[in-house]
Amino acid sequence: MPEVISEIASLRVRLEDLRRKNRSIGLVPTMGALHAGHAALMHAARRENDVVVISIFVNPLQFDRPEDLEAYPRTMEDDLRVAQDCGVDIAFVPTAAELYPREPAAFVDVPALTTYLCGQFRPGHFRGVATVVMKLLNTVQPDRVYFGQKDAQQLAVIRRMVQDLNVPTAIVPVPTVREPDGLAISSRNKHLSVEQRQVAPVLSRALDAALRLIENGERSVATIRDRVLPLLAQCPQVRVEYFEIVDVETLVPVMSVNGPVLIAGAMWVGSTRLIDNVLLEGEGE
């Protein structure tokens, strides 16, 4: 099993000893309920670092709905077994009181990148994400930190935070892991009923359809949306929250595809919210 550490001071002492031995450190931040997507992050960290640290912490700051925080699965024993199978050395498992010993007054916010996409519908979410990731980076001081491309807006926010605040850590993106039918793997998938699970891959199919239209020469975002949104409308169980094509750097919606873009969508299937995206690089004039 990984070495389990729950106190910040103890973790710092342990990692400082490893740094004195010139060991490189990779960090995989998680909220637990580990699945194949997390495993891909841990395997990437294992390949590229001498020491792999995983954090398991359900961060209250990033939940805009208290019921979501309460319902988030806590599966520590299973998570530690997954971490062991992926070659993790240290599991940092702080309590909320350890990371937030008093009501926080200082936060990290990247509002320029959170106006659209998920940020439009989850007020305060990315401020909570950026704040806890900065606390983890300050605690672990890793050489590299690993995030999944599935959470593309989160990845963009963390990249910009690290750049703007001169954090000496490399951000390593890891491609989205999918089920055979294309559904992006997520801890939320377990909330889907059998019927809802059959419907859920429609989002990845819609993203792929938009990507094919662009690859075949379509540049008008309005035309792409007119062609793709009916695919989602065919499923009465689905409520689309957004389906956008945005600039890959600013995450601002574009009207025409003339450069790298992110095609991103979020939808509700019953009471379960699913997100997904595909990245188009190097397109345009």
For 163-212, the pLDDT digits (tens) are 999 999 999 999 999 999 999 999 999 999 999 999 999 999 999 999 99
CA distance 55 to 27: 8
* Pick from 258, 238, 277, 230: nearest CA to 116: 277
**pLDDT value at residue 284:** 45
Which residue among 38, 43, 125, 191 is the active-site one? 38
Please report where in the chains the tokens 């305060």 appear, as a residue: 124
CA dihedral 27, 29, 34, 40 (to 10 degrees): -50
Average pLDDT of the residues in 78-94: 98
pLDDT at 285 over 50: no
Domains 3-174 and 187-276 share a fold: no
Q: Please give the pLDDT value at position 66.
A: 86
The structural architecture, per CATH, of the domain 187-276 is: 2-Layer Sandwich (3.30)
Q: Out of 3.40.109.10, 3.30.365.10, 1.10.1040.10, 3.40.50.620, which CATH number does the structure's domain 3-174 have?
A: 3.40.50.620
Q: What is the mean pLDDT of residues 96-111?
A: 97
The mean pLDDT value for 116-145 works out to 97
What radius of gyration do the chain's Cα atoms show? Answer: 19
d(CA 248, CA 214): 15
Q: Based on the residue annotation, tell me whether 191 is a catalytic residue of this protein.
A: no
d(CA 15, CA 140): 7
Give 283's pLDDT tier (boundaries 50, 70, 90): low
What is d(CA 29, CA 38) in angstroms, rounded to the nearest whole number?
Answer: 9
Q: What is the mean pLDDT of the chain?
A: 96
Q: Domain coordinates of the chain in residue numbers?
A: 3-174, 187-276
What is the C-alpha to C-alpha distance for residues 135 and 119, in angstroms, rounded to an integer? 21
